[in-house]
């Protein structure tokens, strides 16, 4: 036997090796604005099985960092998402004076500057791909006497910022385009003001980011700032502001709109926060398990705040076998383990009243619809056009490329499903700097005859580091 000869590799070790390579390619720390794409092809040789836990909730993680950075004393955060979007928020809060450290125990320790204590950042605040970081931080800066320039990647630089510029200007902030900028999109320079003017602001668009920007600006504004929200959006800001000790009230008017009032010049008390798993990330293995025949998967410790979890209700309406086991409350948020088994799904008309409670989950719902029996009609989704990509157009184009029958509407999609038969697959999908597009088509690859290739899995690191590895643990193959 030659010195360097090796026993023949088993199929299992080959798959494990390929997964390890794909994982290294997809998940190694990626500088923001990275230019080298990380392609990967996805398929599933058999059922998905096992139990996994997805990383921490992105929305809660952003808010935990921001509010801890405004409390006086040490806050501790467990389970924080270490995706690039949240790290952009951490870097910005550090640049404005907070001390934020990740311990060897993975607990984050944050020493805040106090409401009103944000310091002038020296350089531009680099927001990468993150709309939430940008809009919420613009709110915080607006009521401090500091000036900050916000920059972002090619995707974020196309997204509309007038929706926050308008209310923050009413509060006294001054927002200007930077030289070469167009206005209304990044890069932008925001000059905050203290004291800012409290406002009553009715949201013209159902957006938790706009609501949160105004409430966060209100934190350091004398008097009461009010946001009127005709359509309920995720309420993590309200829950957490109260948890940190801010005076915040929520009432309903005669038309059912939520009126959220915050008393400014608040003093925030440091907290211990445990961040639950992100339901928007859990959505991918949940749909994968529903679609791949023979699958049975548990996703442990998923946040199920009712303003976030509508996807699971819609999948159940379609016939999905989804159970919430061991329901409990963690850090003021409902949490459970999701147990999901392969199911024959039926097309439906998706409810318009819950669009905001599953706004990020439509791309993966479209994949589920493409495999369902009959027609799915999803409307009321105009907001999807201004996310990291135009998610209506990009999903329609990609689904067609892998053989699905799709009609694009101004505000949604009509999809005629295969009734459980695999899609042809075999195409390469451009992720367009959109993590949810990349992950949705990765899942589509698991139910296609020929593997589906994603041209760049790099953006997945913004919200779901470890995606390829975890899907691999369940039995997916990425090469
Ligand atoms: O407030 C938040 O954490 C978020 C709100 C939503 O955006 P909009 O407020 O623009 O709908 C969502 O799409 C985003 O992923 C996170
Ligand atoms: C829209 C999203 O995020 P953001 O607006 O923070 O970029 C998302 O995560 O799908």
pLDDT tens string 125-136: 999 999 999 999
Residue 260's CATH number: 3.65.10.10
Q: Is residue 4 part of a domain?
A: no
Residue 304 has a pLDDT of 98
Q: Is residue 357 part of a domain?
A: yes
Last residue of one domain, picked from the residues 219, 240, 274: 274
Are 45 and 188 found together in one domain?
Answer: no
- Is residue 88 a contact partner of residue 133, using CB atoms and an 8 Å limit? yes
Residue 29 has a pLDDT of 38
Are 113 and 222 found together in one domain?
Answer: yes
The average confidence (pLDDT) of the chain is 93
Residue 453's DSSP bridge partners are 41, 428
Q: Is residue 2 part of a domain?
A: no
Are 342 and 460 found together in one domain?
Answer: yes
Ligand 1 atom closest to 208 (CA): 9
ipTM of the complex: 0.99
Minimal-distance CA residue to ligand 1 atom 11: 207
Element (H, E) at 219: helix 208-219
Are 283 and 261 found together in one domain?
Answer: no
Residue 182 has a pLDDT of 81
Alpha-carbon distances, residue 68 vs 40, 100, 111, 339 (angstroms): 37, 9, 7, 33
Q: Is 391 annotated as a binding residue?
A: yes
Q: Is 211 annotated as a binding residue?
A: no
Instruction: Kindly state if the Cβ of 302 falls inside 6 Å of ligand 1.
Output: no
Are 305 and 366 found together in one domain?
Answer: yes
Q: Which residues of the chain have pLDDT under 70?
A: 1-35
Phi-psi region of 301 (alpha: psi -120 to 50; beta: other; left: phi over 0): left
Peptide bond before 55: cis, by omega within 30 degrees of 0? no
Last residue of one domain, picked from the residues 224, 253, 274: 274
Are 113 and 236 found together in one domain?
Answer: yes
Q: Which domain holds residue 311?
A: 11-56+276-478
Are 25 and 75 found together in one domain?
Answer: no
Are 84 and 142 found together in one domain?
Answer: yes
What's the 169 CA to ligand 1 centre distance in angstroms? 21
Residue 117, both tokens: 């204590």
Instruction: Kindly state if the Cβ of 209 falls inside 6 Å of ligand 1.
Output: yes
Q: Is residue 147 part of a domain?
A: yes
Considering all CA atoms of the chain, what is the largest pairwise distance in Å, rounded to the nearest integer? 84
Catalytic one of 235, 278, 337, 360? 360
Please, which residues have CB within 8 angstroms of residue 284's CB and are 6 or more apart in sequence? 364, 439, 440, 442, 443, 464, 467, 471
C-alpha to C-alpha distance for 71 and 218, rounded to whole angstroms: 15
State pTM to two decimals.
0.93
- Is residue 172 a contact partner of residue 197, using CB atoms and an 8 Å limit? yes
Task: Please tell me the total count of domains within the chain.
Answer: 2
Residue 235 has a pLDDT of 97
Residue 32 has a pLDDT of 53
- Is residue 261 a contact partner of residue 415, using CB atoms and an 8 Å limit? no
Are 150 and 249 found together in one domain?
Answer: yes
């Amino acid at each position: 036997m030659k010195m360097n000869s090796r026993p023949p590799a088993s199929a299992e070790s080959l798959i494990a090796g390929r997964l390890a390579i794909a994982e290294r390619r997809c998940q190694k720390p990626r500088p923001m604005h990275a230019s080298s794409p990380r392609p990967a092809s996805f398929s599933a040789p058999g059922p998905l099985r096992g139990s996994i836990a997805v990383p921490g909730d992105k929305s809660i993680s952003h808010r935990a960092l921001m509010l801890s950075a405004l409390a006086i004393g040490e806050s501790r955060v467990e389970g924080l998402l270490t995706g690039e979007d949240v790290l952009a928020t951490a870097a910005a809060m550090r640049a404005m004076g907070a001390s934020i450290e990740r311990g060897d125990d993975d607990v984050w320790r944050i020493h805040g500057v106090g409401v009103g204590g944000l310091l002038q950042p020296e350089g531009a605040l680099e927001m990468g791909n993150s709309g939430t970081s940008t809009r919420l931080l613009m709110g915080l800066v607006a009521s401090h006497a500091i000036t900050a320039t916000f920059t972002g990647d090619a995707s974020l630089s196309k997204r509309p910022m007038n929706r926050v510029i308008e209310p923050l200007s009413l509060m006294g902030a001054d927002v200007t385009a930077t030289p070469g900028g167009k206005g209304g999109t990044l890069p932008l320079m925001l000059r905050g003001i203290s004291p800012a003017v409290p406002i009553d602001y009715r949201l013209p668009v159902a957006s938790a980011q706009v609501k949160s920007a105004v409430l966060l600006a209100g934190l350091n504004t004398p008097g009461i700032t009010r946001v009127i929200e005709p359509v309920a959006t995720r309420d993590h800001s309200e829950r957490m502001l109260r948890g940190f000790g801010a005076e915040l009230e929520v009432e309903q008017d005669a038309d059912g709109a939520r009126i959220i009032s915050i008393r400014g010049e608040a003093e925030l008390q440091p907290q211990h926060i445990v961040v639950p798993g992100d339901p928007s990330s859990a959505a991918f293995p949940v749909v994968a398990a529903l679609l791949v025949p023979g699958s049975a998967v548990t996703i442990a410790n998923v946040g199920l705040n009712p303003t976030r979890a509508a996807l699971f209700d819609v999948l159940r309406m379609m016939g999905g076998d989804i159970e919430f086991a061991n329901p409990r409350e963690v850090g003021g948020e409902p949490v459970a383990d999701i147990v999901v088994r392969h199911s024959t799904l039926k097309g439906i008309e998706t409810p318009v009243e819950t669009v905001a409670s599953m706004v990020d989950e439509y791309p993966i719902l479209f994949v589920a619809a493409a495999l369902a029996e009959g027609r799915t009609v999803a409307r009321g989704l105009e907001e999807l056009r201004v996310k990291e990509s135009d998610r209506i157009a990009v999903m329609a184009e990609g689904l067609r490329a892998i053989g699905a029958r799709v009609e694009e509407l101004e505000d949604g999609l009509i999809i005629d499903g295969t009734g459980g038969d695999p899609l042809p697959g075999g195409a390469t999908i451009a992720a367009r700097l959109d993590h949810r597009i990349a992950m949705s088509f990765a899942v589509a690859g698991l139910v296609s005859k020929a593997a589906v290739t994603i041209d760049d899995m790099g953006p997945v690191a913004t919200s779901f580091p470890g995606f390829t590895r975890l899907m691999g643990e369940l039995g997916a193959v990425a090469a």
